Amino acid sequence: MKRDANFFRYSFALFDVLVINLIAFSLIVFMGSVQLTYGIIFFLFANNIAWLVSSYFTALYVEKYTRIHRFLRRSLQCFAIHFAVMQTVIFFSGYDLSRLFVLFNLTGLLIVILTSRILIFQGSQFLSSQPRFNKKVILLGYNQSGVRLADYLSKLPNISIQGYFDDNSNTPPHLWLGEVSAALDYAISNEIDEIYSTLVPEKNAIIQDLALKAERNFIRFKFIPEFRMFVDRKIYIEFARDMPIVSLRREPLEEIGNRIRKSCFDKVFSLLVILLVLSWLVPLLALIIKLDSRGPVFFKQLRSGKNNIPFLCFKFRSLHVNKDADNIQVSKGDQRFTRVGKFLRKSNLDELPQFFNVLRGDMSVVGPRPHMLKHTEEYSKQIGEYMIRHYIKPGITGLAQIQGYRGEITNPEELSGRIKLDIRYLENWSMWYDFVIVVLTVYRTITGDKKAF
């Protein structure tokens, strides 16, 4: 399995890099107006590096994709980041490159990406439609797990469910094939490919013997463990050698490679914002804040960080200095707002100093918003899953914020909705997820957010 995954990874990585260079060199040969100058050489080098960096951050070649649409979607995400990176690099490079040359390069790459992935999909569809790839399966045990499994398998191509073997009389007559002891004889005589058992050997002594005899007859035998008697929710299984480990949720950021990707993105992005924006904006806003009201330029407050470890969170001060800053959350029409503070809050400019928190390692660009220590204590008593959001670093923006759950929390439903989205982000993190959230945050900041005040 690992060897197959590596072959897929290396072959497609090599194919895509070859395509990038083949397109460029073909254009150099056939476009008379394009010469092999230092600018073109720089473009070729940057084009390769940008693609490799983009594929790394989107983990394009890491997974062994079982569904082609996932690979196609991840490829398009990689291309989108590659396109943005190349446009930025070209803009700051200072080289006068032919626009047609750049356009044809990027367009050609997009066309090849779409074509190659679609051809793979069509090829796999054709192969799976061949009779020799059809699988006939039977199920042992008519129960909740067996019904759910049958519903899942029935939606897969080339799977034909023959029915159930069960000693229980509750099985519908049109689905019942016989008692469990008769399953092997039926499987052999009817050329069954796979047997799925929701009956565990610990409670059904015949199952283990049945599994061994099935494999001797080249019939694959698979067990479906039943965990719902202990945990009534979706679970995730991984292996430590031959020992299955069950966890309650998937956490992509538990993998060291993903943490490195996110950390690199955070450091680079925050450094660019600090150098290109905050280097001139901080002195300007500091002067305006000082002229508008008495008090410090920055507001510093302890917030709950990763693993609920407090950290000092930075913001531009938007309120008059008051004694309730650590106890009372800001509300719409709050009398503590300064004149400049209203604008800073409305435009999200008050959050910009948190890029220093990101550079320090206290926060991420994207993640659950950090709450005041008092609110963390209160909310954790209201919602059992609240502390799960602290498994990862808090963010300047997050999934909950772009979905409308930002600002003041006025009722339990708002708090519950925010926590659900924070946990969804934690369980489904990807670099593309972060990229989309950042783009939507900028979009909502420009167009206005009714929850911003």
What would the pLDDT profile of 334-356 be if each residue is shown by its tens digit? 788 888 888 888 888 899 999 99
Backbone angles phi and psi of 410, in degrees to 5:
-110, -15
277 shares a domain with 385: yes
Does 34 have pLDDT greater than 80?
no
Mean pLDDT, rounded, for 408-428:
87
**Which residue, 101, 102, 52, is CA-closest to 81?**
52
Do 114 and 144 lie in a common domain? no
| Cα first-last separation, the chain | 53
23 and 114 part of one domain: yes
- E strands, 52-206, are 135-140, 159-165, 176-178, 194-197
Does any domain span residue 232?
no
How far apart CA 416 and CA 419 sit, in angstroms, is 5
> Cα(343)–Cα(288) distance, rounded to whole angstroms?
12
Residue 46 lies in a domain: yes
The yes-or-no verdict on residue 5 having pLDDT over 60 is: no
* Boundary residue ending a domain (128, 145, 167): 128
Least confident of 37-46, 242-251, 365-374, 428-437: 242-251
Q: How far apart are CA 398 and CA 418, in angstroms?
A: 10
Among 128, 150, 185, residue at a domain's last position? 128
How far apart, in whole angstroms, are the C-alpha atoms of residue 289 and residue 321? 12
The DSSP H or E segment spanning 23 is: helix 2-30
User: How much is the average pLDDT of 10-15?
Assistant: 81
Contacts of 421 (CB under 8 A, 6+ apart): 398, 399, 400, 403, 405
% of the chain with per-residue pLDDT over 70: 89
Q: Are residues 164 and 310 in the same domain?
A: no
* 8 A C-beta contact, residue 25 and residue 41: no
Whether 341 and 217 share a structural domain: no
Same domain, 213 and 305: no
pLDDT at 77 over 60: yes
* 302 has a pLDDT exceeding 90: yes
Domain span at 422: 256-447
Residue 125 has pLDDT above 60, yes or no: yes
**337 secondary structure, DSSP code:** B
CA 418 – CA 412 distance, rounded (Å): 10
- Say if 235 falls within a structural domain: no
In a domain? residue 304: yes
Residues 19 and 62 in one domain: yes
118 and 145 housed in the same domain: no
- Average the pLDDT over 84-111 and give the result: 88
159-167 contacts: CB < 8 A, separation 24 or more? Answer: 159/134, 159/135, 160/134, 160/135, 160/136, 161/137, 162/136, 162/137, 162/138, 162/190, 162/192, 163/138, 163/139, 164/138, 164/139, 164/140, 165/138, 165/139, 165/140, 165/141, 166/140, 166/141, 166/142
Confidence of residue 449 (pLDDT cuts 50, 70, 90): low
CA–chain centroid gap for 123, Å, is 28
Average pLDDT, the chain: 85
Q: What is the predicted pLDDT for the residue at 64?
A: 57
Question: Could you tell me if 90 and 147 lie in one domain?
Answer: no
Residue 234 lies in a domain: no
Domain tally for the chain?
Answer: 3
Q: Write down the pLDDT at residue 232.
A: 56
Q: In this structure, are 313 and 188 located in the same domain?
A: no
Residues 165 and 202 in one domain: yes
Name the band, by pLDDT with cuts 50, 70 and 90, for residue 447: confident
Domain boundary residue among 128, 153, 177? 128
> Residue 214 burial (CB < 10 Å; 0-12/13-18/19+)?
buried
Which residue bears the tokens 């924006």? 277
Q: Is residue 236 part of a domain?
A: no
Q: Please check whether residue 436 lies inside any domain of the structure.
A: yes
In this structure, the answer to whether residues 374 and 436 fall within a common structural domain is yes
Whether the model pTM is above 0.75? no
Question: Looking at the domain assignment, is residue 107 inside a domain?
Answer: yes
Query: For position 8, what pLDDT does the model report?
Result: 60
Percent of the chain clearing pLDDT 90 (strictly above)? 32
